[in-house]
Amino acid sequence: MIRLGDLVELDKTHSQDAAIVLDMGLLNHNLVSAFTPTQASVNILKRLVRVVLPGVPPEQRAMNWFGSYGSGKSHLGVLIGQLLRDGAHTPEFAGFLRKLENFGENELAEELRRVFLPLTDPDARPYLLVPLYASQTPSLQAKLLEGLYKAIKNQVKVHPALTLECILPRTEYEAAYHRFEEIVQNAPHYQNAELSDWQLEADYLTTEEMALGLKHYQPLALKTFCLWHQHVCHGAKFRPVDTDGKNVVEAYKEAGQNLATQYHYGGIAVIWDELGHALEDLMRTPERNAVEEIIELQRFVETTCQPNLGHVLFLGLTHVSLAEYGARSEAPQDVRDRLKTIEGRFTSLKVELKPSESEGYHLLGAQRSWTERGQTYLAQSHTAIDSLAAVCGKLPLFQNLSQDLPKIIRDCYPLHVITAAALFAISTRYAQATRTAFTFFRDLNGQTFERSISEAGLFRRELIRLPELIEYYGDKMEKEASGMMEMYRRAIAEVRAKGNECENKVNIIGVLLLSKVLGEHFQATETFIAAALWDEKLNQSTIETLQKELVWLKNAGLIWKNQVTDLWSLAGEAWVDPESLIKEKQQSITLSETATLFTQYPDMRDDLLPLLGKHDLEPSPCGIVRCYSVDLLNSPFKMPITQSDNLSKAAQVFLVMAKDSEAAIEAQQVCQTLSFQQVYYWIPREGTQRLNDKLRRYVAIEELLKQKTHGEGLKRQFEARWEENRQALTHQMSELFGRQGLVSGRAHIFRAGEDMPLTCTSWHDFRIFLTQAVHQEYPSEIYVCSMGLNSINEEKYKSSYISQLRAKVIDVVHKILNFENNAAYQNDLLGEKETSHAAAIIDGILGQYANQLFIERENGWDIKTVEETKGAVHEVLSLIRNELLRNREKPYKISELRKKLLKPPYGLPPSVYAILTAVALRKDIKRLAWVNLKTNEPFEKTLAKAFTANSTLEIRLQDFGKKQLLILNLLAEILNVSRLPKTDDNDYAREAVQTLRQFIKQLPDTVKEAPRLDEKARQLAKFFRAVGKTPHDLADLLIQLTDIQTEQKSDFGAMNNYPQTQQQLAEIIHAFEKIKNERLHALRQVLREQVPESMTEREVLLEQLHNVGTIQAMNLAQVIGTEAINEAMIERIVQNVLHKAFDQCSEIEIGQLIGELKALFENARKQRQPAPIPQASVQPTLPQQRPASVNLYRVAEPTLDPQTLKIINDLREVIAPYQTRVDKKRVLTAIQQVYAEIEKLSL
C-alpha cells in the first residue's frame, strides 16, 4: 500500500520559519524575488509611490497596515524596506517587477522604476531604514530613539562616508552621559558605585554599566539615570533641555534634514512591526502614562512626516486598526479616545490574503516537498488535476483563477483546493500567532500521512477535505460562533445515533457549517457540496448519491433548503415546524381588504409598491419639473375623495383596489363620470382579492422575525419563506399594476371623464403620455432654467440644499429691488461673477436665453418694465402687479397669488415667485407694507418667506384713502413738515407719519405715561408702543380722535381747510408739551422765589446754605452759584439731588424735589439760637462774634454721638492741609465725589 507520507514530506524547518523577522528579512534579498503581488500589496505600493514625493499631507506618510497573522504584512514590510533603501533596479526587484506586470500592473511597475532609482544614479534618494519590533522599552519614544541610533550606527559601518555626529544631533542620551561625567568630576566616588545603594540595581549593577548603556542609547539606562540623578542631586530632576539635549521628535527631524542635505537621502523610513504589541504593553503597564505617550506619538508623526525633504515615512504593522486596541485591552475611555484620534493621523490599509488570489497557495506549497517517488506519481496525475480544475473552475470562488488553477491544485497538495481556499478565509477570521494558514501543515497529525493512495492515482481520496478544518479551528469557532457549533454537534450526534453509514452525512453537515462561517464564495449549493466532497460535477450518479443524503438529513429536520437561493443550511430547531407557526400567525390577521392591509402595514406597502408617492415628470419645454403622485384608492369610492387639493401635483394616479371583477366594473363607471383634469385610475379587471392571502403571510412572517424567542436556524427558515412569498407577490403585483397586466389586458388605465382606456403597455409608456398631457395644461409657463429652483415638488424644499438656494434667491431679490441705487448691481448678472451659483440662478430666470428681462439702454443695463415685456412673461408679471397693487378694503393674502401661479395656465415653481415679484414691483415696492409683522427683517426676506407653503403673511397697498390723506396732510401742516416740489401726496403723508413718530419717540416715558396727560394724547402714545401698526392704522386713529368726518360734511370746513380738525390735532400735540413744561415751570418758580437775582443777596443765601453744613445744602450752593436761573441749572439740581435726568423723573419725584428744596431754603434762612448759659456762676455775657468766614467742615448739629465726632475730627485733619493750598470750590467738589461714592456703597 502506498501511503501519502511516501510521496510528500513536510518541511518542518520552513514551516517554523514561515514568520518573517523584519531585521533579518531586510538583509535577505531572496524575499523580494519570492514575493507574489496581491491586491492589498498593489494598493500599498501605489500609495508609496505618491507619498515619497513633495507636497503630500503628513497623514499619508504615516501608514498603519493591519491584518491577521500570516497575511503577509512582514513580508511586504521587507519588500518595501528594501525598495526604499536599495531602489527598484536590483536583480531581485527585476523579477518582482515582472510578476507585477504579469499581475496587470504595468503602470505601477514603470512608476516604481522611475521613482526608486538605482543607488548609482545621482538623482537617487534612498531612505535610512529604522526597523522596530514590538517594544521592550520604558516608552514608545525611547524605542524610536534607540532604533534611530542603531540604524545610523549600522549605516555608518556600511558607508564610512557617513558619520554619526554629523547626522544625529545631541540627544537626551548624550546630555545624560555628559551630566553623569559632570557629577563624577565633582564626586569621583560615583564613578563605579553600586546602584544597589539607591535600590536601582534592577537593570544595571553599577553606575559605570549604566553610563555605558547611555552611550549605546539603551532606554533602560536613561530611565535608571533619571532616577539616580534625583537621588544624588537632592531630588532635582534631570532636564535634557538644560544641556541642549534633543527629544525624539527633534532628533528625527534634524537627522532627516542632515541626511537629506549632506548625504542626498530622501529621509528616514520607520518600519515598526508588531506595533500593536507595543500599544498593548503600554496599556497593560499602570506605571506608564498611556494618554501622554499616544499624544507624543501623534506629535511625532505630525511633525516628522511633514517636511518635503528629510521627512519620516512611518509604517506601523498591526493585527487590527489602532482604535480597536483600546477596546480589546479594555482601556479607559480617555485612552480609547486618544487612539481614535491618532488613527485619524494615519492612513489605515488592510493587508489580507484572499482565497481569490494565488500568492497564498504558492506559499502553502513551499512548506512541503515531493519525494522522488512522489514526483513520479505527480507526473502521472495530469488528468486528475485537469478534471479537478474543470470542476472547481466553475465555482465563483475560482472564476478569476481558472488559468492558474492546475498549478494551484499542485501547490496546495495534499490539501483539496477548496480546503486551501477555506483555510485562508477562516484563518483571516480566526488567526492566532501560533495558528495561521501556514501552520496548518505543521500541525497535521501523523495519521494524515498514513492515508493510502488510490490505485487510480493522486488527487482523490487522500486529499484533505473541507470538514477537516473544523477540528483545527473548532475551539476558536466555539468562542466566535457558539450557536452554529451547537447546531453542528447536535446534528452530528443525531446522525450517528440513527445509523452506521454516516460518513457522507457528517461531511455534508461539516460543509454546511463552514459555508455559514465563511460566507461569501462558499455558498452551500449542491454544486459546491459535490465539488468539495466528491470532486465531481452534478452528473447523474452524483445527483443520486448527494440527493439521497440531503433528503435523509432534511427529513430528519437537520438541514433545510432555501427555495429562493437554492442554498442548504443547518436547521437550528429541528423539532419546530416553521410552516405551522406561520399559518397560526397568518390566521390571527383578520383584515380582508387589500387597501386596508397596505394602509395598516406601511413597511409592506413601501416594499411591494415602491411606485407609490410623488414622482417627477420630465422637464417641460421651459425647464420646469412638475410632479405627479401615485396613491391607493379603495373601491367603491366617491367623487370628492379623488380630487386633489395639493396644487404642487400636476397629476394624480390612483391604483384602484377593487375587490373583484364586479367592483372593478363599478369603479370604471364612476371614474367615467368625473371631470377632473389629469386624474387617472389604474383598475385591475379581476380585482386584487387574490393578493390578500400572500399579503397576510408576508405580515405574519415579518412579525415572527421580530420575535426574539426563535433561534438562528429557525429565523433563517422564516427569512427564506418570506423571500419566497415576496417574490410571488412581486410577480402578481406586476400582473395587476405593471407591464404584464397592461399587455395582457388584465388591467386598464382610465383618465377621469373618458370612456376608453389609455393605449399604454407599460409604466414607461404611461409616463410619456402623462408628461405630454401635463405640459399641455400650462401654455403660459415661462422659463425657469435654474437647477434646484425649477421643481414644483414642495417636499424637496425641506432639504438643506434648498435652504441654501433660498438664501441666494433672497440675495437676488435684494439686488433687483436696489438695482437703481447701486451701480455694482447694474449689469445683466446683477454684479455676480459669471461662474458663481448666483449668476446661474439669475441667468436661468432673467437672462437672455430665459425670459430676457434685461435690456441694454444708452446709459447701461436695466431691467425691463412690465410694459416692455411680451407674451407669457408679460402675462405673469401683469398678474403679479395687478394682484398686489389693487386697492382693497382688507389686506391681501400672498397665498392667494401663490395658488394662481401654481394653477394652470402658469404652473410655476414657488421658489421663483419672489424674484418675479421683485421684477414686477421694483419701482412700487414702497407702496406695499406687511400686515401684523412682528419682526424688522428686510422686505426681500419676508417676500421669499411669504411664498412658502402654509404661509399666512398678508400685505396691503400703502396708498392712503381720501380721508386718510386729508387727515395726514392736516397733521403735516401742524408739524411744519416741508413739502418738496413734485412730492406725491402719499409720500408727503408718510413723511408726516414719520415726523410724528419721531416726535413721540423722543418724549420721555414720564411724559407719555403722566396721569394728567390728555386722553387723546394718551391713546396716541399707546398706539406707537404697539407692534405691527401701519401708517394706515395711524390715519384711522386720528380720524377717530378728531371731528374730520363731521367737518367734511360742512362746506365751511372744506373752504377754510378744516380749522376745527386742525385745532384738535394741535391740542393733541401740545398736550405732551404742556405736561413737560408744567413740571419745568414748577421747579423754575420755586427757584425764582427762593434764589435772589441780586448778587449781594445771593451771596448771603449761599453762605446760609454752607452754614447748614449738610452735603446736600453745600451741593445746592455750588450748583446755584452766580448763574442765572435756566434749564441747565434745573437739570443739574435734579441730577445732584435725585441722581437721574429730568426727563426720567416722574411727577411724584418732581413734587418731592420741590418740597425738599423749599425746606432746605427755609432751614438755611433760620437764625441760629445761641447755646444756653450755665447758671452756676454769674459772668458777664460775652458779645457774640460773627465768623469771619464760613468753615466748610463744621456741621451745625450739636447732638452727635462721640464716635461720629471722632470720625469728623479725623476727616478734618485729613482735609486741613488742602485748605491753604487748594481753592474752596475744588475741595467741595472732591468732598461731593467722596460722598457720592460712599452713598453708592451704602446701597
The rounded distance, in Å, linking the Cα atoms of 1179 and 1200 is: 28
Question: Do 925 and 1029 share a domain, yes or no?
Answer: no
C-alpha cell at 914: 419672489
Q: Up-side HSE of residue 540: CA atoms within 13 Å toward CB?
A: 0
Q: Considering 1017, 1043, 1076, which residue would you say is the last residue of a domain? A: 1076
Question: Do 289 and 383 share a domain, yes or no?
Answer: no
The rounded distance, in Å, linking the Cα atoms of 699 and 604 is: 8
Helix, strand or coil, per DSSP, at residue 206 = strand
In a domain, 471, yes or no: yes
Distances (CA, A) of 177 to 184, 217, 222, 707, 1064: 11, 10, 9, 71, 103
C-alpha cell at 538: 452534478
The rounded distance, in Å, linking the Cα atoms of 509 and 553 is: 9
The rounded distance, in Å, linking the Cα atoms of 21 and 18 is: 9
The number of residues making up the chain comes to 1243
CATH of the domain at 73: 3.40.50
Question: Do 583 and 568 share a domain, yes or no?
Answer: no
C-alpha cell at 589: 390577521
If you search the block for the grid coordinates 438755611, which residue do you land on?
1164
The rounded distance, in Å, linking the Cα atoms of 584 and 577 is: 11
In a domain, 220, yes or no: no
| Cβ–Cβ < 8 Å for 1188, 1140 | no
- Cis peptide leading into 578, omega within 30 of 0? no
In a domain, 868, yes or no: yes
Q: Which amino acid is at 805?
A: L
The rounded distance, in Å, linking the Cα atoms of 949 and 466 is: 65
C-alpha cell at 1153: 424735589
The rounded distance, in Å, linking the Cα atoms of 575 and 591 is: 31
Distances (CA, A) of 19 to 15, 72, 154, 365, 1170: 8, 9, 24, 15, 119
Backbone phi and psi for residue 614, each to the nearest 5 degrees, phi listed first: -85, 145
In a domain, 227, yes or no: no
Q: What is the dihedral of CA 743, 745, 749, 753, to 10 degrees?
A: 140
- pLDDT at position 644: 54
897 Cβ contact list (under 8 Å, min separation 6): 879, 880, 883, 884, 913
If you search the block for the grid coordinates 501560533, which residue do you land on?
434
Question: Do 856 and 733 share a domain, yes or no?
Answer: no
Closest CA to 1192 of 1123, 1111, 1120: 1111
Question: Do 392 and 532 share a domain, yes or no?
Answer: yes
Q: What is the extent of the structural domain holding 46? A: 37-169+246-350
- pLDDT at position 482: 72
In a domain, 1188, yes or no: no
Question: Do 604 and 730 share a domain, yes or no?
Answer: yes
Q: Considering 541, 574, 607, which residue would you say is the last residue of a domain? A: 574
| Cβ–Cβ < 8 Å for 364, 411 | yes
| Cβ–Cβ < 8 Å for 632, 683 | no
- pLDDT at position 121: 92
- pLDDT at position 1178: 40
Question: Do 542 and 599 share a domain, yes or no?
Answer: no
- pLDDT at position 706: 87
Closest CA to 381 of 403, 357, 359, 413: 413
Reduced DSSP (H G I as helix, E B as strand, rest coil) percent helix, strand, coil of the chain, to 5: 60, 10, 35
Handedness of CA 229, 233, 234, 235 (dihedral sign): negative
1137 Cβ contact list (under 8 Å, min separation 6): 1112, 1115, 1116, 1153, 1156, 1157
Question: Do 570 and 609 share a domain, yes or no?
Answer: no
Residue 521 backbone class (left: φ over 0; alpha: ψ -120 to 50; beta: rest): left
CA 1182, distance to chain mean position in Å, is 97
C-alpha cell at 1082: 414748577
- pLDDT at position 603: 93
Query: Based on the number of CB atoms within 10 Å of its own CB, is 114 exposed (0-12), middle (13-18) or buried (19 or more)?
Result: exposed
Q: Considering 1165, 1184, 1217, which residue would you say is the last residue of a domain? A: 1165
Handedness of CA 102, 107, 110, 115 (dihedral sign): negative
- pLDDT at position 51: 92
- pLDDT at position 14: 44
Q: What is the dihedral of CA 202, 137, 83, 169, to 10 degrees?
A: -90
The rounded distance, in Å, linking the Cα atoms of 313 and 1080 is: 86
The rounded distance, in Å, linking the Cα atoms of 1137 and 1122 is: 19
Cα distance from N-terminal residue to C-terminal residue, the chain:
115
Give me the average pLDDT of each 10-residue run along the chain (1243 residues): 86 52 89 84 93 85 86 90 94 90 88 94 94 83 88 87 85 86 88 89 89 86 89 83 79 93 94 92 88 92 91 93 88 91 90 66 74 91 91 86 85 90 77 59 76 89 90 78 80 82 88 86 89 80 82 85 84 68 88 89 92 92 93 77 69 92 90 84 92 93 82 79 91 90 92 91 93 94 90 62 82 93 92 90 92 92 94 95 86 93 93 94 85 82 90 85 86 87 81 88 79 86 80 87 84 75 87 74 77 80 80 79 75 78 74 80 66 42 39 40 75 77 73 73 49
- pLDDT at position 1168: 47
In a domain, 836, yes or no: yes
Q: In degrees, to the nearest 5, what angle opens at C-alpha 1118 toward C-alphas 1116 and 1122?
A: 110
Q: In degrees, to the nearest 5, what angle opens at C-alpha 801 toward C-alphas 798 and 805?
A: 95
Question: Do 826 and 744 share a domain, yes or no?
Answer: no
Q: How many CB atoms lie within 10 A of CB 1071?
A: 21
Structure letter (DSSP) for residue 108: H
Q: How many CB atoms lie within 10 A of CB 415?
A: 26
Angle between helices 1031-1041 and 985-1002 (to 10 degrees): 80
In a domain, 760, yes or no: no
Domain count within the chain: 7
Q: How many CB atoms lie within 10 A of CB 502?
A: 17
- pLDDT at position 265: 94
Question: Do 523 and 391 share a domain, yes or no?
Answer: yes
Q: What Rg value do the Cα atoms of the chain yield, rounded?
A: 50
The rounded distance, in Å, linking the Cα atoms of 87 and 89 is: 6
Question: Do 886 and 1029 share a domain, yes or no?
Answer: no
The rounded distance, in Å, linking the Cα atoms of 749 and 770 is: 11
Question: Do 522 and 535 share a domain, yes or no?
Answer: yes
Distances (CA, A) of 716 to 97, 192, 570, 574, 827: 48, 75, 9, 13, 68
In a domain, 765, yes or no: no
Helix locations, 788-911, DSSP H = 800-817, 837-845, 871-884, 894-902
3-state SS, 555-584, equals HCCCEEEECCCCEEEECCCCCCCHHHHHHH
Handedness of CA 334, 337, 341, 347 (dihedral sign): positive
Closest CA to 1057 of 985, 960, 973: 973
- Segment 513-547, tens digit of pLDDT: 998 888 778 889 999 999 999 888 766 667 788 88
| Cβ–Cβ < 8 Å for 877, 919 | yes
